[in-house]
Amino acid sequence: MSSGLKVAIAGPTGAVGHALLQVMAERKFPVRELVLMASSHSAGSTVTFEGESLTVHEVTAELFQGVDVAFFATGADISSRWIPVAVAAGAVAIDKSSFYRMDPAVPLVVPEVNARDLEEHHGIIASPNCSTIQLVVAVAPLIRRAGARRLVVASYQSVSGTGQKAMSELETQTRDVLAGKTPVAELYPRPIAFNLFPHIDDFDLEGNTGEEIKIVRETRKILGLPTLPITATCVRVPVFISHAEAVWLETEEELGPAEAQAILSRAEGVQLWEGNGYPTPLDAAGKDPVMVGRVRRDPTVPNGLVLWVVADNLRKGAATNAVQIAETLFGVGT
């Protein structure tokens, strides 16, 4: 469409890049022209968008000329090098990497929660980590109503959060175990087939992992609660797609499970599973809503609630959130 946007995607061949192309097509994101780019080792490959085969180019400054919005489905190394180039060329960059997330000059946005922060951008908008996105979509409506005192989170995170190679590693190891062979860990520090480990990203000096620190810091920034006490244990599990979280929320004011369910039943981006109903990773895979179930009282603290939160980490946890940011910025889409 001649009235659409010139869109660039850096990293279209990875798990998130693939989801990004799919989500843009599904949501009829108004693409006038699509430029695909990657580092030299993925350049030359082709990907399909709306039935058309497109070539991936090696990233150069020239490719960003005239681009309206550039999605970076890349790691911090590529994002940090090329986002300044994209912005200098006049594009708005929406970054999935962790590089800019905690930069005070960069909005960190989940549109259902803090779309207003987009007003402050200077060319770069960061999309949060997958485990943070689903957490804030679920708890923000409750916190808006009753305030927040503390959050405790235990996560159950799928291998697609690491990327396509990790999905292959889970499959290969699983076939090996079923064939009676010893699984060999390559990408991960331990076997993941029929196993799990509380080790996502590196450890800091206090013994927290990078993933746990991201949940703490990003959640505080998105909610605008810079001192909210949050503690997390993040665990990689042998699931292909979707992350789950057991969440304990302590609110400032009394908020019973019935009222919490009423709030969540009409909250934007949330699909409530009523009563004892609960979503599983398989239920959420390929879907956009953040699914919340088993909303119950935690009787061990004043104003305690327990929630079970599941979302597709490649879609709402990454691609869908990035596309929603672009839709909000440009006033387009659903």
Q: Which two tokens stand for residue 333?
A: 């889409």
Q: How far apart, in whole angstroms, are the C-alpha atoms of residue 234 and residue 217?
A: 14
CB of 281 to a copy of itself, least distance (A): 5
Closer to a copy of itself by Cβ: residue 111 or 161: 161
Give the separation between CA 300 and CA 93, rounded to whole angstroms. Answer: 45
- Name the residue nearer to a copy of itself (CB basis): 186 or 194: 194
Q: Judged by CB under 8 A, which stretch of 40-48, 104-112, 167-175, 325-333 contacts a copy of itself?
A: 167-175
Q: Given the rule CB under 8 A, which of 85-93, 112-120, 190-198, 312-320 is the region that contacts a copy of itself?
A: 190-198
Q: How far apart are CA 175 and CA 181, in angstroms?
A: 9
Q: Which of 39, 164, 174, 328 is close enough to bind a copy of itself by CB under 8 A? A: 174
Q: Is 20 in the site for a copy of itself (CB under 8 A)?
A: no
Tell me the window of 32-40, 107-115, 135-143, 226-234 that interacts with a copy of itself (CB under 8 A).
226-234
Helical axes 130-146 vs 210-223, angle rounded to 10°? 40
Counting residues that bind a copy of itself (by CB under 8 A) gives 52
Q: Does 199 bind a copy of itself (CB under 8 A)?
A: yes
From 76, 80, 115, 278, residue interacting with a copy of itself (rule: CB under 8 A): 278
The binder of a copy of itself chosen from 79, 208, 271, 324 (CB under 8 A): 208
Which residue number, 91 or 152, has a Cβ lying nearer to a copy of itself?
Answer: 152
| Residue among 49, 72, 99, 156 that touches a copy of itself (CB under 8 A) | 156
- Nearer CB in complex with a copy of itself: 86/307: 307
Q: Which of 46, 194, 224, 268 binds a copy of itself (CB under 8 A)?
A: 194
- Residue 93's nearest CA partner among 70, 110, 120 is 70
Determine whether 234 is an active site residue: no
Cα–Cα dist 290/317, whole Å: 9
Beta-strand relationship, 31-38 and 5-10: parallel
CA–CA separation, 302 and 101 (whole Å): 33
DSSP tag of 203: B
* Residues near 42 by beta carbon (within 8 Å), at least 6 away in sequence: 11, 13, 56
Write the burial class of residue 1 (CB in 10 Å: 0-12 exposed, 13-18 middle, 19+ buried).
Answer: exposed
Residue 292 found at the interface with a copy of itself (CB under 8 A): no
With contacts defined by CB under 8 A, name the span among 43-51, 71-79, 128-136, 223-231 that binds a copy of itself: 223-231
Q: Round to whole Å and give the CA distance between 59 and 61.
A: 7
Which residues ranging from 110 to 139 are in contact with a copy of itself (CB under 8 A)? none
Residue 163 is a binding residue for a copy of itself (CB under 8 A): no
257 is an interface residue for a copy of itself by CB under 8 A: yes
Any catalytic annotation for residue 130?
A: yes
Residues 73-92 that bind a copy of itself (CB under 8 A): none
- Does position 300 interact with a copy of itself (CB under 8 A)? The reply is yes
Binding stretches for a copy of itself (CB under 8 A) = 150, 152, 154, 156, 170-171, 174-175, 178, 190-191, 194-199, 203, 206-208, 229-231, 233, 235, 237-240, 244, 246, 248, 257, 275-276, 278, 280-282, 293-301, 304, 306, 308
Which residues does the annotation mark as catalytic? 130, 243
